[in-house]
Every structure is written in structure tokens, then in C-alpha cells.
């Protein structure tokens, strides 16, 4: 069943990653893209109206309407098949229960494609996934995606690309280790020292700062250090009676703003 209303409901029911997968699948099919735009922009759409919008150039060239109608039915059928394939592949991925982030689901989808032996298709998806993970600085998943990329590239025999990707993998692995080292230091420090131990806590902050300065391009490490420092500064202000009157209420806003930004960067992604 590929009626207009059916296709429209199927498209609206796709998740964010599924819609991106759909557009990746049909990016080189202008009529398919035009069909999707027509379906999503019209509240109610009749077949003849859709044909007039999609095949306007052909109608101007006096192509027979029956031919265009047949093309339209084939176009709908093809789009329906693509959507069904995306839904099937997405639902067939069975990652561990603790891996429910949408990009983690895509990671496990890529693993499934690799098991089927389609290394080129998996590599294309992994390249797209890598861009998304780099944008949110999700190093926990990024270096794992790089590992799959290396495997696909080696299976495809692209030795030059393999050497380049290996350098990228080493860089992302180093960032992952820096993040985990900082998190471990934070847990150990906060369970063994308190804010009142100024010397020990200052040493802890200096270690966090050195980690950030070693990777200045990482906004995630910078935000983490600023949050920890602001947390400490607020404690000093609140315990110093002479400075209480000078305490800035805006500091609390900055503190929670850092927290929101850290959450936005997926600091809590499961490894």
C-alpha cells in the first residue's frame, strides 16, 4: 500500500536518525526528494496535484499524462520500499539495554551491516556518524566508530586512507583517555578531599586545567574545568563572611549554564 496519505504518515513517523538516513539514501534522486517535499508541505494532497507539482517540466513538454501517472506510481512504490527498508534495518538492531542513545543505535546498525559483509555501505554510514560524534565531542563512542572505520577500510584495501584514519583514531583515543582520566581524578578527589582543604583542591583544579590546556581545541574539557572552578569559587564566596555581600547572583546562572552545556555535549554518554 503506497497511497499518498500512507506515505505521508510513514514519513512523519520516522525518527530523526531515520529521516537523515532517508535523505542520504535518496540524495541523488531529485524526483524522490521532490515527492517528499510535496508530501510534507501539503496538508491534503490529491494524486493529480502531486503529479502536476512533481512533473511540471514534463507537462510543459506535452508528455502524455498517462505516462506521468505511471511514473508517479513507480515513484511512490520506490519511496515506500526505501522507507520500509530503513524501518526494518533500524528495528532489527538489538544493542545492549544500556545503549539507547540514538547515535549508539546507529553505531550498532553499522556493526550489523559489517557482519553482512557490506563494508562500503557501512563505511559511508560510519563517516557520517563520525561527523556527528565529533560535533558533540562524544569521545566515548567516537573512537569505537573509528575502530569500525579502520576495519572497513582495511577490508576494502584502501591502504593510503587506512594510514590517515589511523592517525585520526589515535587522536580521538587520546581525547577519550583524557576525558576518562579527568573523570576518575574528579571522583577520587571529591571522595578524599573537601572544598575546605584549599591546597589539595587547588592541586586538583590545576590537574584538570593541565588536561584542558593539553587539548585546547576541546570545548568539552574547557567547559568541565570552568564548571569545577566556578563550583569551588562559589564555595569560597559563601564561606567568606567578608565577601558574602559581594557574592554575584549571576554566578549561579553561569554554574547551571555550564551544566546544561555539558549535558548538551553528551558528557553522560555510556562507554
CB distance 109 to 99 below 8 Å: no
Distances (CA, A) of 179 to 106, 144, 174, 194: 23, 15, 9, 22
For 207: left if phi > 0, alpha if psi spans -120 to 50, otherwise beta; the answer is alpha
CB distance 141 to 125 below 8 Å: no
pLDDT at 94 over 50: no
pLDDT digits (tens, 9 = 90+) for 210-248: 888 888 888 888 888 887 777 777 766 665 544 444 444
And the C-alpha cell for 107?
Answer: 553505531
CB distance 136 to 266 below 8 Å: yes
List domains and CATH numbers for the chain.
4-91 (no CATH), 102-175 (1.25.40), 176-264 (no CATH)
What pLDDT sits at residue 242? 43
CB distance 258 to 226 below 8 Å: yes
What pLDDT sits at residue 130? 92
pLDDT at 146 over 60: yes
Please compute, for residue 103, the number of CA atoms within 13 A of its CA located in the half-sphere on the CB side: 24
Distance CA 137, CA 142 (A): 8
Distance CA 129, CA 194 (A): 40
Q: Who contacts 164 (Cβ-Cβ below 8 Å, separation ≥6)?
A: none
Q: What are phi and psi of 186, to 5 degrees?
A: -65, -45
pLDDT digits (tens, 9 = 90+) for 11-27: 777 777 777 778 777 87
User: Alpha helix (H) ranges present in 214-265?
Assistant: 219-239, 250-264
Q: How far is CA 177 from the centre of its chain?
A: 20
Q: Who contacts 91 (Cβ-Cβ below 8 Å, separation ≥6)?
A: none
Give whichever of 44-48, 107-111, 258-262 has the largest mean pLDDT. 107-111
Mean pLDDT check: name the lowest of 55-69, 127-141, 187-201, 215-229.
Answer: 187-201
Distance CA 66, CA 48 (A): 11
CB distance 239 to 215 below 8 Å: no
pLDDT bracket for residue 139 (50, 70, 90) = confident
Q: How far is CA 168 from the centre of its chain?
A: 18
And the C-alpha cell for 201?
Answer: 583542591
Amino acid at each position: 500500500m503506497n497511497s499518498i496519505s500512507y506515505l505521508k504518515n510513514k514519513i512523519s513517523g520516522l525518527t530523526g536518525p531515520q529521516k537523515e538516513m532517508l535523505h542520504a539514501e535518496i540524495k541523488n534522486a531529485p524526483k524522490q526528494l521532490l515527492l517528499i517535499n510535496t508530501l510534507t508541505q501539503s496538508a491534503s494532497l490529491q494524486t493529480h496535484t502531486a503529479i502536476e507539482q512533481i512533473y511540471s517540466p514534463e507537462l510543459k513538454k506535452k508528455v502524455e499524462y498517462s505516462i506521468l501517472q505511471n511514473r508517479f506510481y513507480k515513484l511512490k512504490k520506490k519511496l515506500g520500499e526505501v522507507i520500509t527498508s530503513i524501518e526494518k534495518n533500524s528495528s532489527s538492531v538489538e544493542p545492549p539495554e544500556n545503549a539507547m542513545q540514538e547515535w549508539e543505535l546507529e553505531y550498532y546498525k553499522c556493526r550489523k551491516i559489517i557482519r553482512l559483509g557490506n563494508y562500503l555501505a557501512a563505511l559511508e554510514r560510519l563517516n557520517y556518524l563520525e561527523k556527528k560524534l565529533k560535533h558533540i565531542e562524544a569521545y566515548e563512542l567516537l573512537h569505537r566508530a573509528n575502530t569500525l572505520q579502520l576495519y572497513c577500510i582495511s577490508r576494502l584495501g584502501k591502504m593510503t586512507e587506512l594510514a590517515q584514519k589511523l592517525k585520526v583514531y589515535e587522536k580521538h583515543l587520546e581525547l577519550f583517555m583524557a576525558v576518562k582520566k579527568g573523570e576518575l581524578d574528579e571522583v577520587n578527589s571529591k571522595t578524599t578531599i573537601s572544598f575546605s582543604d584549599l591546597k589539595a583542591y587547588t592541586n586538583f583544579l590545576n590537574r584538570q586545567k593541565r588536561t584542558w590546556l593539553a587539548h585546547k581545541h576541546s570545548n568539552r574539557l574547557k567547559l568541565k574545568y570552568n564548571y569545577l572552578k566556578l563550583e569551588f569559587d562559589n564555595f569560597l564566596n559563601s564561606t567568606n563572611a567578608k565577601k558574602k555581600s559581594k557574592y554575584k547572583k549571576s554566578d549561579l546562572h553561569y554554574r547551571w549554564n555550564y551544566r546544561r552545556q555539558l549535558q548538551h555535549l553528551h558528557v553522560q554518554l555510556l562507554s
